[in-house]
């Protein structure tokens, strides 16, 4: 989808075209909801915030600059809304175990345990690190788009992402997912093409 | 290769860039910390492939669209209420100003506005001058002036017509009365040289309308700002 298609879609939405509104919602709901789940660690909250994000998107759709890509603009609204929600949630008196709500049951094998450890590690990251990590590794957005979403320079995003990875790696090491001297997994991570060949 | 360079290469690898560096592998063989970190990096790399993005619950899109529709309906309703309120305020302002003008006219001794039939027929009655009729048909106020100013000028015209009528009736009665007086010593009135009694009233009406001009300008600006704040219909812009 190029920027011209985005502009056409937005114009149709502004005209009140129901089909265009459905298209826009269907196109972005998975990414917005996934981001909200990762940032909020709570599925019900994520659903509420996803709805609010779309409300805000449509209310401010006229303010979108059609010369810029649509997706980073939309994701920035989602990130800002999650940030606001988290700050409001901190003020609530009740204590809720959000991780229990989000994470699945106990894993059956090592890979499930690995995934669970990674999810817990991601959930414990600082919000900025977590946002950069999820946008990069889970949603596959490039550094430049993440910089637009988070309104920070690319260098800052790289720094945050590198620190996020180091914290996760440290947690994996502490939780015994890696042997002490790395002898069980001596090889470096393989690039994608080499992994597929293997 | 030192440890910092090895860490940078690990980050590049996690970024998705392929690494072909014999120096790095050599460093890993000799540095236990970097070897552990690289091993953890590989586990992370594997785990990220297993990590599935949370899927939205069933029907979320429909709920979102329904909420958007509800929000649009509410926005339209709010816009209509604001428009009705602003129109009511503007109408109330105009009525209040008109009443104020009428009240001022009554306190000045010109009484209230006469009925339309009186105003309409006043210049056609006996002795009405053609000059006054022409002035009524072509008022000399600025036609591009605001509506409220025009209204004030029209009020002045109404007062003018009323005073015309009164003056004409008075003159007619005076003539009748003077004809019945036996003494011929009364001086003959030079009606042509008399100043029309309506000019001061006309000027007063114009003065009032000019005095109200800042008020009308402010009110019009406020209404314009208010209307500008109203959300526009999507179809209106396209």
For residue B72, which of A5, A46, A13, A66 has the smallest C-alpha distance? A13
Q: What is the pLDDT of residues A159-186, one digit of tens each?
A: 999 999 999 999 988 888 876 554 444 4
Taking the CA atoms of residue A198, residue B6, residue B8 and residue B11 in that order, the dihedral angle to the nearest 10 degrees is 30
A162 touches chain B (CB under 8 A): yes
Contacts of B167 (CB under 8 A, 6+ apart): B197, B198
Contacts of B165 (CB under 8 A, 6+ apart): B114, B118, B122, B125
In the numeric block, the tokens 């990220």 are attached to B48
Are the C-beta atoms of A163 and A130 separated by less than 8 Å? Answer: no
In A41-69, alpha helices (H):
43-59
Give the residue-averaged pLDDT of B2-15.
86
Contacts of A30 (CB under 8 A, 6+ apart): B53, B55, B56
Under an 8 A CB cutoff, do B18 and A194 touch? Answer: yes
B170: enclosing H helix or E strand: helix B147-180
Interface test with A, best of B12, B25, B32, B68 (most A CBs within 10 A): B68
pLDDT at B220 (0 to 100):
82
Residues of chain A found within 8 Å of residue B60, distances taken between Cβ atoms: 29, 33, 47, 50-51
pLDDT higher than threshold 60 for residue A79: yes
Cα(A121)–Cα(A167) distance, integer angstroms: 8
A-B C-beta contacts closer than 8 Å: 160
Cα(B43)–Cα(B46) distance, integer angstroms: 5
Cα(B153)–Cα(B159) distance, integer angstroms: 10
Q: Which residue of B has its CA nearest to A15?
A: B234
**B238 Cα to chain A: minimum distance (Å):** 7
**A91 Cα to chain B: minimum distance (Å):** 26
Q: What is the pLDDT of residues B12-44, one digit of tens each?
A: 888 887 777 788 888 888 888 888 888 888 888
Categorize the per-residue pLDDT at B199 as very low, low, confident or very high, splitting at 50, 70 and 90: low
Under an 8 A CB cutoff, do A43 and B64 touch? Answer: no
**Which residue among B45, B57, B61 sits closest to A25, beta carbon to beta carbon?**
B61
Cα(B208)–Cα(B152) distance, integer angstroms: 7
Under an 8 A CB cutoff, do A188 and B16 touch? Answer: no
**Which residue among A16, A188, A192 sits closest to B235, beta carbon to beta carbon?**
A16
Cα(A62)–Cα(B63) distance, integer angstroms: 23
Residues of chain A found within 8 Å of residue B11, distances taken between Cβ atoms: 162, 165
Contacts of A21 (CB under 8 A, 6+ apart): A13, A58, B65, B68
Q: pTM here? A: 0.57
Categorize the per-residue pLDDT at B214 as very low, low, confident or very high, splitting at 50, 70 and 90: confident
Cα(A170)–Cα(A178) distance, integer angstroms: 10
Cα(A45)–Cα(B61) distance, integer angstroms: 16
A184 touches chain B (CB under 8 A): yes
Cα(A24)–Cα(A60) distance, integer angstroms: 14
A113 touches chain B (CB under 8 A): no
Give the residue-averaged pLDDT of B121-143.
49
Q: Which two tokens stand for residue B86?
A: 């602003």
Q: Which two tokens stand for residue B85?
A: 């309120």
Under an 8 A CB cutoff, do A11 and B238 touch? Answer: yes
Contacts of A32 (CB under 8 A, 6+ apart): A50, A53, A54, A74, A75, A78
Residues of chain B found within 8 Å of residue A54, distances taken between Cβ atoms: 64, 67-68
Categorize the per-residue pLDDT at A140 as very low, low, confident or very high, splitting at 50, 70 and 90: confident
Under an 8 A CB cutoff, do A14 and B238 touch? Answer: yes
**A176 Cα to chain B: minimum distance (Å):** 10
In this structure, the number of other CB atoms found within 10 A of the CB of residue B106 comes to 12
Under an 8 A CB cutoff, do B53 and A138 touch? Answer: yes
Under an 8 A CB cutoff, do B46 and A111 touch? Answer: yes
Under an 8 A CB cutoff, do A187 and B46 touch? Answer: no
Query: B115 vs A2, A123, A172, B111, B156, CA distance in Å?
Result: 70, 82, 95, 12, 14
Q: What is the pLDDT of residues B68-108, one digit of tens each?
A: 988 888 888 888 898 889 999 999 989 888 888 877 766 66
């Amino acid at each position: 989808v190029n920027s011209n298609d985005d502009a056409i879609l937005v114009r149709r939405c502004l005209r009140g075209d129901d089909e265009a509104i459905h298209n826009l919602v269907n196109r972005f709901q998975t990414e917005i909801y996934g981001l909200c789940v990762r940032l909020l660690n709570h599925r019900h909250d994520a659903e509420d915030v996803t709805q609010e994000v779309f409300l805000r998107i449509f209310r401010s759709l006229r303010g979108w600059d059609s010369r810029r890509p649509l997706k980073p603009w939309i994701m920035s609204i989602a990130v800002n809304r999650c940030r606001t929600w988290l700050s409001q949630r901190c003020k609530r008196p009740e204590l809720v175990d959000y991780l229990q709500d989000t994470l699945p049951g106990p894993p059956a094998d090592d890979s499930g345990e690995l995934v669970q450890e990674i999810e817990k590690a991601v959930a414990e990251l600082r919000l900025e690190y977590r946002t950069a990590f999820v946008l990069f590794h889970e949603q596959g957005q490039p550094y430049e788009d993440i910089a637009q979403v988070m309104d920070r320079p690319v260098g800052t995003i790289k720094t945050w992402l590198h620190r996020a990875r180091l914290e996760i790696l440290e947690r994996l090491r502490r939780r015994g997912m890696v042997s002490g001297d790395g002898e069980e997994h001596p090889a470096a991570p393989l690039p994608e093409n080499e992994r597929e060949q293997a | 290769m030192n440890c910092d360079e090895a860490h940078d290469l690990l980050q590049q690898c996690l970024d998705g860039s392929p690494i072909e560096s014999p120096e790095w592998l050599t460093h890993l063989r000799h540095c236990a910390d970097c070897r552990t970190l690289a091993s953890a990096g590989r586990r992370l790399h594997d785990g990220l492939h297993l990590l599935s993005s949370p899927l939205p619950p069933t029907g979320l899109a429909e709920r979102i669209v329904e909420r958007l529709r509800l929000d649009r309906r509410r926005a339209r309703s709010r816009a209509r209420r604001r428009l009705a309120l602003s129109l009511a305020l503007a109408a109330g302002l105009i009525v209040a100003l008109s009443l104020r003008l009428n009240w001022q006219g009554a306190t000045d001794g010109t009484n209230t506005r006469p009925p339309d039939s009186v105003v309409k027929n006043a210049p056609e009655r006996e002795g009405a001058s053609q000059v006054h009729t022409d002035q009524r048909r072509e008022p000399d106020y600025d036609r591009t002036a605001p509506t409220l100013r025009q209204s004030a000028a029209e009020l002045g015209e109404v007062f003018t017509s009323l005073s015309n009528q009164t003056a004409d009736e008075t003159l007619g009665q005076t003539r009748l009365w003077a004809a019945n007086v036996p003494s011929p010593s009364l001086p003959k009135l030079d009606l042509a040289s008399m100043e029309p009694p309506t000019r001061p009233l006309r000027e007063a009406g114009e003065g009032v309308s000019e005095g109200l001009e800042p008020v009308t300008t402010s009110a019009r600006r406020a209404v314009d700002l208010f209307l500008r704040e109203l959300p526009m219909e999507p179809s209106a812009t396209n």
